[in-house]
Structure 1
Amino acid sequence: MAITANPSAPPAIPPPHTAVLIGRFQPWHNGHMALLQAALQQARQVVVVLGSAHQARSPKNPFTWQEREAMVRGTLSPEESARVHCLPVRDYYNEARWVEAVRQGVQALVPHGAGIALFGHFKDSSSSYLQSFPGWPLTSLPRLGAFDATPLRDIYWNAAGAPVADVLAALAPQVPASVLDFLHAWMDRPDYAAMQDEAAMLRDYRQAWACAPYPPVFVTVDALLVCNAHLLLIQRGHAPGKGLWALPGGFVEPRDSLWQSCLRELQEETGCAVEVAALQAAFQGVQVFDHPDRSLRGRTITHVHVFDLGDRAQLPAVQGADDAALARWVPLAQLPTLETQFFEDHFHAIQSCLEGFCTLPA
């Protein structure tokens, strides 16, 4: 007797043309690898979205997107690699803008009308982005092993000063062999020592308030001064972010208002030769940046005070001091070339302020 299909059964869902994996992959580990292999089995091609691209190195994001792409491709055969696209995407500290950037980047790699599906698993609250793409079905896979990049990085920064062989032995069961080779070679670079120092500083920083009844929320101020199509920046003199470009600023003192703290930090870090009355006349407004992940030091809410000093014939004299190793007027047109050298979210904060205050030059 012939067996006929059940007319009431739901139609089978065809496999997607493109599978999308989203993450920071810092570093690429065996859990990521298993997820990618599952996606390759079901889709014609895979787009690996490399988040936190174009940022300065930090203990949380030590590897550039190019290094992470090399990690991914080093684990694939030539045939598999030909089916994988790596898509770098910035952290915009704005979910709607980030989602749109991911959508546009993926769509550019997919034929019109082809099916797209997300591949991933819900690890914790950091996986909530998987719900931000309606229209892209989610293939939610079980967690493939107890792999997590955060403790891997803790092992790698080697706070206990263990022999290199012991560090590599601890990492070996959790990362592909080619990634382990990369991590071993990277330990000989100056960047590794710098990230170790940053990680140690951040551990000490968090330990200082570990006994508080709840995690503190820090309040900071920054000054954004524009003059004659130049922006005043400082180069940080200490960790975290030693050597990176930033807006002049710092923590609010207990007895200072936000305005007083902004003027104090501006003077201490740059010695900017502009009278307070002139700054008051140039003041455009304040923009608040409060993304929970904007700072590795803990929850830090900053208030960027924006000033437009106009088209002065001569830029005000500045000189780095206090926490600033250097103070410098940087042409606005040069800012995009410095994106990977900015501290925390300062590049995006600057962009937002320049867009938000129409009196400033584009």
Structure 2
Amino acid sequence: MKTAVFIGRFQPPHLAHLETISRALECFDRLIVVLGSAYCYPTPKNPFSAEARAAMIRASLGTEAARLQFVAIADDYYDDPRWFRTVRAAVEALAGPQARISITGYDKDESSYYLHGFGDWPFEPSGVVSPLSATEVRNSYFGGSTDWKAMVPQAVQQYMQEFATTLEFKRLQDEWRTIQHYRALERHYPYPILHVATDAFVLAQEQVLLVERNGALGKGAWALPGGYLEPQETLLASALRALREETGLALEAQHPKATQAFDYPGRSLRGRVISLGHFFELEEAPALANEGAFWLPLSELERHQARFFEDHYQQICWFLGRAPHQPALSQGKELL
């Protein structure tokens, strides 16, 4: 069976996405759509769940949707080869051993590098060349314009109009406005601004120390204690200060078990933020006086994967030597 694979975030699915899908279904027996950036906390960049994106695409296709299948794949910023292996395993589990698999899409720029990263899966250009951008759709949507409506299929427009009446939309719109304010400030500088931050991963009795965010960005998300480096601080002093301020836990002169720079360029919507993670391991988990700080058992980490701010779940996985959890893959079946 001739099977095509189309990879994207589809945040949201726009008209060029749907044209690519329709053309692939004309040329192939089946199309597997890989929904990237799955299982993450909603942000203005990734506002819709994998289930919502799959439903929008299905509703836009009518009877053609019968030959469409979906898999959801979490981001894996710090191990690209592992991400490719994860996608391949998920697709092959759906396609079966006899499938002839090709990858389709539009080789737009350097961000399309993944189209040529699957070895024996030949790249079949979709033939769809469009100026449409999901970023443009989102900026119009959260910015209060109606221009986005002409960029998406009717079924997607209907879903987004209903979503715009929710409290979650209001939270994301407020966050989008905060990000636009940051971008406006940065435009006054003659060179790109690089921010340095620190995060503290504290492990005790198979529990990780977390805080629930209450600021303008990622409100309600779970995060490692951390923050921006102050001008007169060392990186270690910054991590210990943030840990003390956000959780009440004082680890004066405590040296980390390990450190790691987390520098994926798109890790933060705040701008170019490089964070140095510090791993502290304690024998006991002390009581926490600060409201919003708590201990999460590692046994519950995967279940709450979608609650984490930015790449903090991936930071924890890195220090633990684990791969980010892939729920759809572990179930061995299509995302419904």
Q: What TM-score results when the alignment is normalised by the length of structure 2?
A: 0.92
Bigger radius of gyration among the two? 1
Q: Which residue of 2 aligns with 1:276?
A: 252
Equivalent AA in structure 2 for residue 293 of structure 1: G
Is 1:224 equivalent to 2:201 in the alignment? yes
- Tell whether the 8 Å contact from 2:209 to 2:296 is kept in structure 1 after alignment: yes
- Tell whether the 8 Å contact from 1:35 to 1:144 is kept in structure 2 after alignment: no
Equivalent AA in structure 2 for residue 71 of structure 1: M
Q: Which residue of 2 aligns with 1:154?
A: 139
- Tell whether the 8 Å contact from 1:221 to 1:305 is kept in structure 2 after alignment: yes
Q: CA deviation at 1:192?
A: 0.6
User: 1:256 is matched with which residue: 210, 233, 241?
Assistant: 233
SS in structure 2 at match of 1:52: strand
Distance change in 2, residues 1:275/1:138 (3 Å): closer
CA distance in 2, matches of 1:238, 1:293: 20
CA distance in 2, matches of 1:172, 1:293: 27
CA distance in 2, matches of 1:144, 1:70: 24
Q: CA deviation at 1:275?
A: 4.3
Q: CA deviation at 1:151?
A: 0.6
Q: CA deviation at 1:75?
A: 1.2
Equivalent AA in structure 2 for residue 319 of structure 1: A
CA distance in 1, matches of 2:199, 2:289: 17
SS in structure 1 at match of 2:118: coil
Q: CA deviation at 1:251?
A: 0.7
SS in structure 2 at match of 1:276: coil
The higher-RCO structure (CA 8 Å, 6+ apart) is 2
Distance change in 2, residues 1:81/1:141 (3 Å): closer
CA shift digits 1:210-269 (9 cap, x unpaired)? 122221111110111111111110111102111100000011111111011111111111
Count of residue pairs brought into register by the alignment: 321
Q: CA deviation at 1:87?
A: 0.7
Equivalent AA in structure 2 for residue 304 of structure 1: G
CA distance in 2, matches of 1:77, 1:201: 38
CA distance in 1, matches of 2:182, 2:213: 17
CA distance in 1, matches of 2:302, 2:96: 31
Superposed, which structure 2 residues align to 1:86-165 within 5 Å? Answer: 86-93=70-77, 94-158=79-143, 161=144
Q: Which residue of 1 aligns with 2:218?
A: 241
Q: CA deviation at 1:146?
A: 2.3
User: 1:330 is matched with which residue: 282, 286, 296?
Assistant: 296
Q: Which residue of 2 aligns with 1:7?
A: none
Q: Which residue of 2 aligns with 1:186?
A: 163
Distance change in 2, residues 1:292/1:176 (3 Å): same
CA distance in 2, matches of 1:245, 1:27: 25
Equivalent AA in structure 1 for residue 277 of structure 2: V
Percent sequence identity over matched residues?
Answer: 39
Q: What TM-score results when the alignment is normalised by the length of structure 1?
A: 0.85
User: How large is the RMSD of aligned CA atoms in angstroms?
Assistant: 1.5
- Tell whether the 8 Å contact from 2:105 to 2:125 is kept in structure 1 after alignment: yes
Q: Which residue of 2 aligns with 1:201?
A: 178
- Tell whether the 8 Å contact from 2:102 to 2:123 is kept in structure 1 after alignment: yes
- Tell whether the 8 Å contact from 2:19 to 2:128 is kept in structure 1 after alignment: no
Equivalent AA in structure 2 for residue 33 of structure 1: L
CA shift digits 1:264-308 (9 cap, x unpaired)? 111111111x4424x33xx31101111111111111111111011
CA distance in 1, matches of 2:50, 2:96: 25
SS in structure 2 at match of 1:225: strand
Q: CA deviation at 1:118?
A: 0.8
Is 1:354 equivalent to 2:320 in the alignment? yes
CA distance in 2, matches of 1:156, 1:250: 30
Is 1:54 equivalent to 2:39 in the alignment? yes
Is 1:285 equivalent to 2:258 in the alignment? yes
Superposition misfits of 4+ residues, deviation over 6 angstroms: none
- Tell whether the 8 Å contact from 2:37 to 2:46 is kept in structure 1 after alignment: yes
CA distance in 1, matches of 2:151, 2:181: 27
CA distance in 1, matches of 2:48, 2:272: 23
The runs of 5 or more residues in structure 2 that have no matched partner are 323-336
CA shift digits 1:154-213 (9 cap, x unpaired)? 00002xx45xxxx2xx22321111111111111111111011001001111122221222
- Tell whether the 8 Å contact from 2:210 to 2:293 is kept in structure 1 after alignment: yes
CA distance in 1, matches of 2:128, 2:108: 7
- Tell whether the 8 Å contact from 2:5 to 2:34 is kept in structure 1 after alignment: yes
- Tell whether the 8 Å contact from 2:201 to 2:208 is kept in structure 1 after alignment: yes
